[in-house]
Structure 1
Amino acid sequence: MSLRCALLAWALFTLLRHGVAQKDSDCCGPIVPRREWRGLASNCDRKLSLPKSYVVVSHTAGSPCDTPDSCLKQVQNVQNFHKGTLGWCDVAYNFLIGEDGLVYEGRGWDIQGAHAGGGWNSKSIGISFMGNYMDRAPPQRALRAAQSLLACGVARGALSPNYEVKGHRDVQDTLSPGDRLYDIIQTWPHYQD
Structure 2
Amino acid sequence: MTRCCTLLAWALFALLGLVEAQRDSINCPAIVSRTEWSALESECNKRLQKPLRYVVVSHTAGSACDTPASCLRQVQNVQHYHVQTLGWCDVGYNFLIGEDGLIYEGRGWNTLGAHSGPIWNPRAFGISFMGNYMDRVPPDRAIRAAESLLACGVTQGFLTRNYEVKGHRDVQQTLSPGDQLYKIIQRWPHYRRV
- Normalising by the smaller structure, the TM-score range is 0.7 to 0.9
Name the CA distance, whole Å, in 2 between partners of 1:152 and 1:66. Answer: 23
Structure 1 gaps of 5+ residues are 10-23
Deviations 1:20-60 (A, max 9, x none): xxxx7753212100000000000000000000000000000
Partner of 2:37: 37
Q: Aligned partner of 1:178: which letter?
A: G
SS at match of 2:150: helix
Q: What are the ranges of 5 or more consecutive residues in structure 2 without an aligned counterpart?
A: 1-13
Pairing of 1:108-147 with structure 2 (within 5 A) = 108-147=108-147
How high is the TM-score relative to the length of structure 1?
A: 0.88
SS at match of 2:122: helix
The answer for the alignment partner of 2:76 in structure 1 is 76
Q: Conserved in 1, the CA contact under 8 Å of 2:19 and 2:30?
A: no
CA-based RMSD of the aligned residues comes to 1.8
Is residue 2:32 matched to residue 1:28? no
CA contact (8 A) 1:48 1:110 kept: yes
Q: Distance in 1 between matches of 2:65 and 2:59?
A: 12
Length, aligned pairs only: 177
Percent of residue pairs bearing the same amino acid type: 67
TM-score, length-normalised on structure 2? Answer: 0.87
Matches for 1:166-185 after TM superposition, within 5 Å? 166-185=166-185
Q: Is the 8 A contact 2:168 2:177 kept in 1?
A: yes
Whether the aligned pair in 2 keeps the contact of 1:5 and 1:28 (CA below 8 Å) is no
